[in-house]
A and B are shown apart, each in its own frame.
Chain A
Amino acid sequence: KQEVTQIPAALSVPEGENLVLNCSFTDSAIYNLQWFRQDPGKGLTSLLLIQSSQREQTSGRLNASLDKSSGRSTLYIAASQPGDSATYLCAVDNAGNMLTFGGGTRLMVKP
């Protein structure tokens, strides 16, 4: 059974800092890995999707990497802003659309 772990569970940084969120998974036979953002009381918003054949994806200040062999992914946020404050969730797709989520990292960016 796939297990997804996110470290740290919470992170507080000053505005402008570059930061890295970590995600690890136990079963490397994946279709893809996705990073989502969740604001309090809201649904999830997809940030990046990395197919199993890809190594990384970039969108604006966000860069996600994938190392299937080691079961790891990182989400890099450059020049963090207070508006980046949210919970970031990593999800792994093992069976074509069936996602297993990590517990999330709650990020606070202080002005």
Chain B
Amino acid sequence: DAGVIQSPRHEVTEMGQEVTLRCKPISGHNSLFWYRQTMMRGLELLIYFNNNVPIDDSGMPEDRFSAKMPNASFSTLKIQPSEPRDSAVYFCASSLTSGGADTQYFGPGTRLTVL
């Protein structure tokens, strides 16, 4: 299995631009997670999907952030408009089931720099 796939791996954009991050979970996994990692705040859960349905988005920092999962093999995290404080590494992860029984498998991350 190829593991969790994220694209792009690096993104540099200017303040005010729209940014779209993409994730392909491991085939057969029913749960998908978006995380953000910064030096100041560490690793934080942004949003969690189960069977393509958003379960908890309490970690989404503000309305500029949105996430979708149109099917079981694809998810996007969009930031519009982007700001310099959004600069971070964004990770996507997937797990086989919900309920806390299975480990999460992480993608390599997208390093976002907003100038």
Contact = CB atoms under 8 A, between A and B. Distances in A.
B98 A96 contact: yes
A97 B31 contact: yes
A44 B31 CA distance: 17
B106 A43 contact: yes
A96 B4 CA distance: 20
Interface string B37-64: 0000011110010100000100000000
Nearest to B99: A96
A103 interface: yes
B104 A99 contact: yes
Q: Which range contains the number of A residues in contact with the other chain?
A: 20 to 34
Interface string A29-61: 001101010000011111001010000000000
B108 A42 contact: yes
A97 B99 contact: yes
Contact of A89 (B4, B43, B95, B105): B43
Given A32-B100, A97-B100, A46 B105 contact: yes
26 contacts: A31-B100, A34-B103, A34-B104, A36-B106, A42-B108, A43-B91, A43-B106, A43-B107, A43-B108, A44-B43, A49-B102, A49-B103, A51-B101, A89-B43, A91-B43, A95-B56, A96-B98, A96-B100, A97-B33, A97-B95, A97-B99, A97-B104, A98-B48, A99-B104, A101-B44, A104-B42
